[in-house]
């Protein structure tokens, strides 16, 4: 499958490319790119002073660079900005960044030649993934520079999983190193493609995780004999929220026809909040997710290069602005990280209710032979540790400070840090939800003779048992956690009936 950029694409399109689809541009998009490139050529010919085209960058913005040095300036920008550190980003994340960068260039306000876009789309087509360190970016510059290195035959990359230097990577996919022209170095390190690409991947993963969180919660609610009156449609409508309504409807459908729920009817006036407020917490996360989705789509619809070029080759306009700064994107990623941290904290609390012999009415710690077996006692510790780590990660990156480039860049929004942090929260949340799912399935094993499950929750239970067995302290539990986490990352919850 191929994603085609015409006028606008959204985060779902970026996520599709990240997952392996290719990227193409419409004739109109190529026309916009060529027009902007001709504008840059005209500015170079006339010598009009323009930031990043014939001047230095950042605090050197008033230093004029002569025409003979402008190509060297572009190359030097890439080399000097490629100073990321730490573990490499995953291939899925790098592909998303490249796709977002091509989308930005396709607006036709950057001025890069079409050759650069053709090289970048060839990276996607031939699975050429530049080595991009995950850390060291206050905004966007370092991550983008490491991708740009490969365009000029520097740096390193993996081609179809085989790692090699940048020049060999280009040769492997039938390309030659590019010699960058005026402004191209700045455009390649500029803009919000990094944070936008990472946020698009995070949205795809979060959307999948939220579906699983609802499904797993239903299995736990049934095992706990929840009071369904709290999830009545008219009751939930007293607090208007699309997210609450969605989650409430999901729980009602999944638990319809449950003998376990029927047997528990009216046994309590109300359940603990980790059970009773599932629609509220999960629904709030869905509302935050919808807002974050809108923000990322607006980012993809925006020109995020500085400067932006417009007009015509005969009447060029160069606008120095701050579109490469993305406070809204940072705040959206921070908000979703907070929401998912809360979802995972609630999941850990529900899991504790299943294993805690003081309140569960189930075998202590869901052990087959309590005493000689510990069951899920320490799995709850793991969930609690990950939940606490998510609480720390939920501290906002968008309020971090920092002054760079000799006071020229004296405000930093940190969207890339926020997106990276969000991905880490999702990593932990997937594990926590997987642990709850494992415990809920174990609880249902003990309840099998009590009453029948709902059809929808029975489908979830059967899916779990196809991945991991009932646990009897007969093998390391870590292997089951990893297996279920992989399962919920790759597969959607069983269809609602």
pLDDT digits (tens, 9 = 90+) for 90-136: 999 999 999 999 999 999 999 999 999 999 999 999 999 999 999 87
**Catalytic member of 51, 140, 431, 471:** 51
Structure-token match 């995780």, residue found? 209
Q: Give, in degrees to the nearest 5, the angle at Cα 445 between 444 and 447.
A: 60
Separation CA 103–CA 99 (nearest Å): 6
Do domains 2-190 and 199-309+316-490 share one topology? The answer is no
Question: How far apart are alpha carbons 366 and 372 in whole angstroms?
Answer: 12
- Cβ 257 vs Cβ 230: under 8 Å: no
Burial label, 57 (beta-carbon count in 10 A; 0-12, 13-18, 19+): buried
Per-residue pLDDT tens, the chain, 497 aa: give them.
Answer: 899 999 889 999 999 999 999 999 999 999 999 999 999 888 888 877 777 777 766 656 666 666 666 788 889 989 998 999 999 999 999 999 999 999 999 999 999 999 999 999 999 999 999 999 998 776 667 899 999 999 999 999 999 999 999 999 999 999 999 999 988 999 999 889 999 999 999 999 999 999 999 999 999 999 999 999 999 999 999 999 999 999 999 999 999 999 999 999 989 999 999 999 999 999 999 999 999 999 999 999 999 988 899 999 889 888 888 788 888 999 999 999 999 999 999 999 999 999 999 999 899 999 988 788 999 999 999 999 999 999 999 999 888 766 555 555 655 778 999 999 999 999 999 999 999 999 999 999 999 999 999 999 999 999 999 999 999 999 999 999 999 999 999 999 998 65
* 136 φ/ψ sector (left φ>0, alpha ψ -120 to 50, else beta): left
Instruction: Give the number of C-alpha atoms closer than 13 A to the C-alpha of residue 384, restricted to the C-beta side.
Output: 10
**Sign of the alpha-carbon torsion through 286, 196, 105, 101:** negative
Does the pTM surpass 0.85? The reply is yes
Q: Assign a CATH topology to domain 2-190.
A: Fumarase C; Chain B, domain 1 (1.10.275)
CATH fit for domain 199-309+316-490, picks 3.10.450.50, 3.30.70.260, 3.40.50.720, 1.20.200.10 = 1.20.200.10
- 317 beta partners: 310
Domain ranges for the chain: 2-190, 199-309+316-490
- If you ran DSSP here, which 8-state letter would residue 320 be given? -
Beta bridge partners, 275, equal: none
- Catalytic residue at 51? yes
């Amino acid at each position: 499958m191929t994603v085609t950029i015409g006028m606008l694409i959204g985060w779902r399109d970026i996520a599709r490319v990240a997952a392996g689809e290719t990227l193409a541009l419409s004739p109109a998009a190529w026309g916009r790119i060529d027009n902007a490139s001709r504008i840059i050529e005209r500015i170079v010919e006339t010598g009009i002073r323009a930031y990043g085209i014939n001047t230095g960058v950042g605090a050197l913005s008033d230093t004029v660079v002569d025409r003979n040095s402008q190509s060297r300036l572009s190359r030097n920008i890439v080399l000097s900005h490629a100073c990321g550190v730490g573990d490499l980003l995953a291939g899925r994340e790098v592909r998303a960044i490249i796709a977002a960068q091509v989308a930005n260039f396709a607006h036709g306000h950057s001025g890069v030649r079409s050759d650069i876009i053709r090289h970048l789309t060839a990276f996607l087509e031939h699975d050429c993934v530049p080595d991009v360190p995950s850390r060291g970016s206050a905004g966007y510059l370092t991550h983008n520079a490491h991708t740009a290195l490969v365009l000029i035959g520097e740096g390193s990359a993996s081609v179809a999983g085989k790692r090699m230097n940048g020049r060999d990577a280009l040769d492997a996919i039938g390309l030659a190193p590019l010699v960058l022209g005026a402004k191209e170095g700045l455009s390649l390190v500029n803009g919000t493609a990094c944070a936008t690409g990472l946020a698009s991947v995070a949205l795809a993963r979060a959307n999948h995780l939220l579906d699983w969180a609802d499904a797993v919660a239903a299995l736990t609610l049934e095992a706990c004999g929840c009071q369904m009156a709290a999830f009545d449609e008219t009751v939930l409508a007293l607090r208007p929220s699309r997210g609450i309504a969605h989650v409430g409807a999901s729980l009602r459908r999944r638990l319809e026809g449950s003998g376990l729920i029927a047997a528990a009817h009216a046994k309590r006036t109300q359940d603990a909040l980790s059970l009773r407020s599932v629609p509220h917490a999960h629904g709030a996360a869905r509302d935050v997710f919808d807002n974050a989705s809108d923000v990322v789509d607006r980012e993809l619809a925006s020109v995020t290069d500085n400067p932006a070029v417009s007009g015509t080759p005969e009447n060029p306009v160069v606008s120095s602005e701050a579109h490469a700064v993305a406070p809204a994107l940072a705040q959206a990623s921070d908000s979703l990280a907070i929401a998912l941290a809360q979802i995972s904290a609630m999941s850990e609390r529900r899991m504790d209710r299943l294993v805690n012999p003081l309140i569960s009415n189930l075998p202590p710690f869901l052990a087959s032979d309590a005493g000689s077996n510990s069951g899920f006692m320490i799995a709850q510790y793991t969930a609690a540790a990950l939940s606490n780590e998510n609480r720390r990660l939920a501290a906002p990156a968008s309020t971090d400070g920092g002054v760079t480039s000799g006071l020229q860049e004296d405000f930093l929004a940190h969207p890339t840090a926020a997106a990276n942090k969000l991905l880490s929260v999702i990593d932990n949340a997937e594990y926590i939800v997987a642990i709850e799912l494992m415990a809920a399935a174990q609880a249902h094993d003990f309840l099998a003779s009590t009453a029948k499950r709902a059809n929808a929750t029975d489908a979830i239970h059967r899916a779990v048992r196809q991945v991991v067995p009932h646990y009897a302290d007969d093998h390391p539990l870590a292997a089951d956690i990893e297996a279920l986490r992989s399962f919920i990352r790759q597969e959607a919850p069983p269809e609602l009936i």
